[in-house]
Amino acid sequence: MLSGAPDLLASEGAGYGTDPELVRGCLAGSPGAFDLLVQLHQRAVYRLCYRFMGNHEDAADLSQEVFLRAHRGLVSFRSQSSLSIWLYRIGVNLCLNRVSAKRPATEPLVGDNASDPPAVDPVDRLEQGAQEQRLRRAVARLPPRQRAVVVLRIYQELPHKEIAATVGSSVGAVKANFFHAMGNLRRLLGTDEAGRSGREAGEDAS
C-alpha cells in the first residue's frame, strides 16, 4: 500500500480498508471502486513510467495502459503481494517492452517538459543540471533489466525484496544486477567524462 493510500481509502468512505477489499470491490463492479484504485496509485505508476521513459507523453500513455491491463487482470491479482507492487510489475514490463521497441532512441534528457526548480545561480544550476543529465543519460543506456533495478531501487526506493517480486527474480539476482548496473554506470560516466574532456581540449586547441 502506498503512503497516503489508507487516508484516501478512508476518506472515500467506501469501506475498502485494504487492497484486497478494494480489488474485491472492483471485481464486484462496485461503483467508483476502480476509479479509487486509479486515484490511489496513479502518481506512483506515472513516476515509475516517467523515470523509465523520460517524457510525459510516454509516461501518461503507459500509465493508462498499466491500469487497463490491471483491470483486465484483477481476477489474477494475488493478495500475497501489495497492489502497488503488482502495478509496478505491470508497469516495468510495459516500460521494458516500450524501451526495447524504441531503443536506442530513448534517452531521457533534461528539459523534456521539465518545470525547473526555483531559480538559482545560473552557473551552478547549469553544472548541477549537466551532472544530472549525464547520470540520467547513463541510466538510459543501461541494459533494460539493470535499468529497471536502478529505477526501482534508487528512484522508487523499493527494498530489494520488493524489486525481486516486481521484476520476477530472486533477491540475489536483483542485488547482482544492481551491482553490475553501478559498474556499468561508472564506466559510462567515465567514458562520458573522458569524451567531454577530449572535446573541450579540442575546442581549446582550435
Partner 1 sequence: MRHASPADLVALAEGVDRPDVRTHLDHCAICREEFTALEAMLGDHARTESVDGPGDAWGGAGFVPEPSPLFWTHFPRRVGRALEQAMQQGPGWWARARLSWTWPWLGSAMAAALILGVVLGSELSSLSRATSTERGLAADAGGPGDGDASQESIGAANSDEMVDSHTGTAADDDGWAMLLLMADTAVWEETAGAELFLPDGAAERAVFDLSLAEREELQRLLASEIGDHVVETS
Q: Closer to partner 1 at the Cβ: 16 or 206?
A: 16
Q: How far is CA 118 from the centre of its chain?
A: 24
Q: DSSP states of 109-122 as a string?
A: -TTSS----S---H
| CA-based nearest residue to 67, from 35, 108, 96, 29 | 35
Q: Closer to partner 1 at the Cβ: 19 or 146?
A: 146
Task: Report d(CA 99, CA 181) in Å as an integer.
Answer: 17
Note whether 75 binds partner 1 by CB under 8 A: no
Task: Report d(CA 111, CA 4) in Å as an integer.
Answer: 30
Note whether 204 binds partner 1 by CB under 8 A: no
Q: How far is CA 2 from the centre of its chain?
A: 15
- Contact pattern from residue 6 through residue 45 relative to partner 1, giving x for each residue in contact according to CB under 8 A and a dash for the rest: ----------------------------xx--xx--xx--
Note whether 69 binds partner 1 by CB under 8 A: no
| CA-based nearest residue to 56, from 98, 112, 129 | 112
* Positions in the binding site for partner 1 (CB under 8 A): 34-35, 38-39, 42-43, 46-47, 50-51, 56, 60, 63-64, 67-68, 71, 113-115, 117-118, 120-121, 124-125, 128-129, 131-133, 135-136, 139, 151, 154-155, 160, 171-172, 175-176, 178-180, 182-183, 185-186
